[in-house]
C-alpha cells in the first residue's frame, strides 16, 4: 500500500543506502531466476515494484530539494551521491529487464502486463550495459555542474542582484533601453561562463559518443532515440517533420514577427525586441503568486470534478515551489513521488505571463500523473516524453476561458500572445533538434564549430533574430542556455510534436468544450499504456509525421489569429 499523503515539508530526506539496495536487488533477481511460471514471477514483480517506488521517492525528494536550494551543502552532497550511484540503479534494473524479456513464460507475462511493456524492455536492453557505467557517472556529474552554474548565477542589474529567472522580466520590459541593458547583462554573464559551459558540453558529447560505440552503434543518435523510448518513429521521420515545419510554419512566423515590429514601431529589431508583444506592454498577471494559485484553484475546480480534486490536493499538501530566489535552479518542471502518489511542481515566478503558463503547463503534467496514479504497472504510468507534453500544452488552451481571472484587462493580450508564441515556438524547437543531430554526427567538432553550426541552422528557421548588442550570442551560443541539450539529448523535438497535438485540442475545444475535455481526460488516464502514435490513433488525433498534417493543423489557427487585432492592444 502507498504511504498516506503528507505535506511536502514533512517528507523524510533519505539518501538511498547503496549496499542495502544491491543486497535487496540481488535477492529479487535470485527470486525471479527461481520462478517457473508467470504467476510466481508476477508476485516477485509486485514486491520489486514496491521497493523501486521507495527508492524513486527518495531520489525524487533529493533532486527537488537540490533544485530548490542548489547552494545547500547537504542537498548538494546528496545530489552528488546520486550522480555516482544512479548507474548502479540502472545496472540492476537492466538485469531485471533481461530476465523478464527473456523469460520462457514471457507470453503469459505479456498477457498480464501488456505487450507494450515488453517492447519497452526490449528497447531498454539496447541502451545499457555495465561497461558504460563509467561514462554514465561522468555524465551525471557534468550535467549537475551545468545546473549549478546556471542555478548560482548572480547578476548585478540596476542596483539589484538577480538570478537568470529574475532578470527575465526585464528582457520583456516595455522600455527598449531596459530590454537592451538586461540583454547585455545576460550576455556578459554567458561570456564569463562560456568556456566552462562549452567544455562541459564537449565532454558530454564525447562520453555519449563513446557509450554508443561501446554498445555497437555508429553514433549516439540511434542510442539517444532508444534512451527516450521511441518505439514508433525514427530520425528520418523527424527530419521529414522538420521539413513540414520549415515549409508551413516558418513563413507564417516571419509574417507575425514583421507585424509585431510594425506595431511596436521598431525598424531595426534585435532579438530582445521580440520579447515585447505589444506597445502598451506584455500581459501581466493581475496578482502575486498567492493570488494566481487561488485563480488556478478556481479554474481547476470549474473544469471538472477530477481536476478540482487534483488541484485541491496539490494545495493541501504544499506540492508546489513557485517563487524565484537566490540559489534556486532555473526553469520549471513537474515530478512525482510514487510512495505518496503525489505530483510536485517546481518553478521560478518572476511576475510575467510565464507564471500563469506554469500553473497550466506544469499543472497539466501533474494532473496526468494524478489521474494515472492508479495504473498498477509503474513503467506504464507515464508515456514517452512527447506524449507527456500533450497533457501540459493542451491544458494551456483549456485555461483560455479563465484568463480574465489571471490577467484582468490583459486577458485578450495574453490569449493572442500565447497562441502566437506557441506557433513561433515550432521553428525554434526544430532549430534545437537539428543542431543536436549535427552535434552527434560531428562529435569531435570544436566549440567554435558547434556555435557556427548553430548560427547557420538558426538563420534558416529564425532569420529575424539579430544579436548586434550581444556579442556572445552573435557567435551562435544561444544553445548553451537550453538545458535539455545538456541533460536530455534529443528531447526538445518532443515539445514541438506535442504542441502540434495540443493545437488540435485547442481548436476542438473552441467548438465543443465538453466533448473535448472528455477526450483529454481519456488521454490522461491512458498514461503510458501505448506508444506516441498509438495514443494519437486511439484518441483520433492527427499524426504530425504524415506529410500534409502540419498544414491541416496550422490553417485553423491562422483564422483564430485573425480574430485579434494586436495593433490595438
Exposure letters 49-87 (e unless 16+ CB within 10 A, then b): eeebbbbbbbbbbbbbbbbbbbeeeebbebbeebbebbb
* The pLDDT value given to residue 469: 94
CA distances from 62 to 55, 83, 335, 337 (A): 11, 11, 12, 11
Question: φ, ψ for residue 406 (rounded to 5)?
Answer: -80, -35
CB-based contacts of 219, cutoff 8 Å, min separation 6 = 209, 212, 440, 441, 443
- pLDDT bin (cut points 50, 70, 90) of residue 165 is confident
Q: How large is the average pLDDT for residues 238-258?
A: 97
* The pLDDT value given to residue 447: 98
Q: How large is the average pLDDT for residues 46-70?
A: 95
- pLDDT bin (cut points 50, 70, 90) of residue 1 is very low
Tell me which residue of 545, 552, 561, 560 sits closest to 248, measured CA to CA: 552
Question: φ, ψ for residue 541 (rounded to 5)?
Answer: -120, 145
CA distances from 44 to 22, 29, 39, 40, 47 (A): 16, 9, 9, 7, 5
Q: Where are the domains of the chain?
A: 8-138
CB-based contacts of 19, cutoff 8 Å, min separation 6 = none
* The pLDDT value given to residue 472: 97
Q: Give tens-digit pLDDT for 112-142.
A: 999 999 999 999 899 988 899 999 999 999 9
Q: Give tens-digit pLDDT for 340-359.
A: 999 999 999 988 899 999 99
Q: Give tens-digit pLDDT for 391-425.
A: 999 999 999 999 999 999 999 999 999 999 999 99
Q: Is 373 within 8 Å of 341 (Cβ atoms)?
A: yes
- Distance in angstroms (rounded) separating the CA atoms of residues 12 and 335: 17
Q: How large is the average pLDDT for residues 280-292?
A: 94
Strand-pairing partners, residue 161, are 156
Strands 160-162 and 155-157 turn out to be antiparallel
Q: What is the mean pLDDT of the chain?
A: 95
Q: How large is the average pLDDT for residues 522-534?
A: 95
* The pLDDT value given to residue 538: 96
Q: Is 221 within 8 Å of 437 (Cβ atoms)?
A: yes
- Judged against a pLDDT cut of 90, whether residue 231 lies above it is answered with no
Note the pTM of the prediction, 2 decimals. Answer: 0.89
| Rounded (5°) CA angle 533-538-540 | 90
Q: Helix, strand or coil for residue 484?
A: helix
* The pLDDT value given to residue 2: 55
Q: How large is the average pLDDT for residues 549-568?
A: 95
The per-residue DSSP string of 110-175 comes to HHHH-HHHHHHHHHHTTT--GGGHHHHHHHHHHHHHHHHHHHT--EEETTEEE-HHHHTTGGG-SS
* The pLDDT value given to residue 535: 95
Question: φ, ψ for residue 258 (rounded to 5)?
Answer: -65, -45
Q: How large is the average pLDDT for residues 446-466?
A: 97
Amino acid at each position: 500500500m502507498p504511504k498516506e499523503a503528507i505535506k511536502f515539508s514533512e517528507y523524510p530526506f533519505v539518501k538511498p543506502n547503496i549496499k542495502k539496495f544491491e543486497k535487496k536487488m540481488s535477492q529479487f533477481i535470485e527470486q525471479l531466476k527461481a520462478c517457473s511460471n508467470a504467476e510466481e514471477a508476477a508476485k516477485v514483480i509486485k514486491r520489486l515494484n514496491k521497493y523501486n517506488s521507495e527508492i524513486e521517492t527518495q531520489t525524487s525528494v533529493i533532486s527537488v530539494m537540490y533544485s530548490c536550494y542548489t547552494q545547500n551543502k547537504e542537498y548538494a552532497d546528496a545530489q552528488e551521491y546520486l550522480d555516482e550511484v544512479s548507474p548502479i540503479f540502472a545496472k540492476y534494473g537492466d538485469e531485471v529487464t533481461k530476465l523478464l524479456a527473456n523469460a520462457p513464460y514471457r507470453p503469459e507475462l505479456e498477457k498480464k502486463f501488456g505487450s507494450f511493456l515488453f517492447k519497452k524492455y526490449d528497447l531498454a536492453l539496447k541502451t545499457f550495459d555495465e561497461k558504460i557505467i563509467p561514462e554514465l557517472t561522468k555524465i551525471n556529474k557534468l550535467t549537475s555542474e551545468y545546473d549549478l552554474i546556471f542555478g548560482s548565477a548572480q547578476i548585478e542589474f540596476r542596483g539589484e542582484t538577480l538570478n537568470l529567472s529574475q532578470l527575465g522580466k526585464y528582457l520583456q520590459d516595455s522600455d527598449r533601453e531596459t530590454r537592451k541593458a538586461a540583454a547585455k547583462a545576460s550576455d556578459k554573464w554567458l561570456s564569463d561562463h562560456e568556456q566552462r559551459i562549452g567544455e562541459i558540453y564537449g565532454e558530454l558529447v564525447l562520453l555519449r559518443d563513446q557509450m554508443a560505440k561501446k554498445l555497437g552503434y555508429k553514433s549516439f543518435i540511434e542510442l539517444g532515440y532508444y534512451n527516450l523510448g521511441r518505439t514508433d518513429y525514427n530520425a528520418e521521420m523527424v527530419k521529414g517533420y522538420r521539413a513540414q515545419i520549415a515549409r508551413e510554419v516558418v513563413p507564417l512566423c516571419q509574417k507575425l514577427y514583421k507585424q509585431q515590429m510594425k506595431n511596436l514601431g521598431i525598424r531595426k529589431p534585435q532579438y530582445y525586441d521580440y520579447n515585447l508583444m505589444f506597445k502598451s506592454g506584455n500581459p501581466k498577471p493581475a496578482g502575486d503568486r498567492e493570488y494566481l494559485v487561488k485563480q488556478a484553484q478556481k479554474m481547476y475546480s470549474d473544469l471538472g470534478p477530477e481536476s478540482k480534486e487534483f488541484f485541491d490536493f496539490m494545495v493541501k499538501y504544499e506540492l508546489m515551489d513557485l517563487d524565484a530566489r537566490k540559489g534556486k535552479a532555473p526553469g520549471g518542471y513537474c515530478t512525482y513521488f510514487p510512495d505518496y502518489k503525489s505530483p510536485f511542481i517546481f518553478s521560478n515566478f518572476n511576475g510575467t505571463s510565464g507564471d500563469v503558463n506554469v500553473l497550466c503547463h506544469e499543472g497539466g503534467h501533474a494532473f496526468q500523473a494524478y489521474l494515472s496514479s492508479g495504473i498498477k504497472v509503474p513503467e506504464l504510468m507515464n508515456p514517452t516524453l512527447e506524449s507527456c507534453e500533450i497533457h501540459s500544452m493542451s491544458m494551456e488552451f483549456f485555461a483560455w476561458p479563465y484568463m480574465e481571472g489571471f490577467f484582468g484587462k490583459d486577458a485578450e493580450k495574453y490569449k493572442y500572445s500565447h497562441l502566437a508564441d506557441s506557433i513561433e515556438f515550432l521553428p525554434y524547437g526544430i532549430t534545437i533538434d537539428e543542431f543536436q543531430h549535427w552535434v552527434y554526427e560531428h562529435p569531435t567538432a570544436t566549440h567554435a564549430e558547434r556555435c557556427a553550426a548553430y548560427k547557420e541552422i538558426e538563420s534558416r528557421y529564425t532569420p529575424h533574430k539579430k544579436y548586434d548588442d550581444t556579442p556572445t550570442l552573435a557567435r551562435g551560443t544561444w544553445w548553451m542556455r537550453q538545458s535539455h541539450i545538456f541533460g536530455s539529448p534529443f528531447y526538445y523535438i518532443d515539445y514541438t510534436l506535442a504542441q502540434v497535438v495540443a493545437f488540435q485540442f485547442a481548436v476542438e475545444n473552441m467548438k465543443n468544450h465538453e466533448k473535448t475535455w472528455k477526450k483529454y481526460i481519456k488521454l490522461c488516464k491512458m498514461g503510458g499504456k501505448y506508444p506516441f502514435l498509438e495514443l494519437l490513433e486511439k484518441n483520433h488525433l492527427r499524426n504530425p509525421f504524415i506529410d500534409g498534417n502540419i498544414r491541416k493543423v496550422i490553417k485553423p489557427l491562422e483564422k483564430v489569429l485573425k480574430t485579434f487585432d494586436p495593433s490595438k492592444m
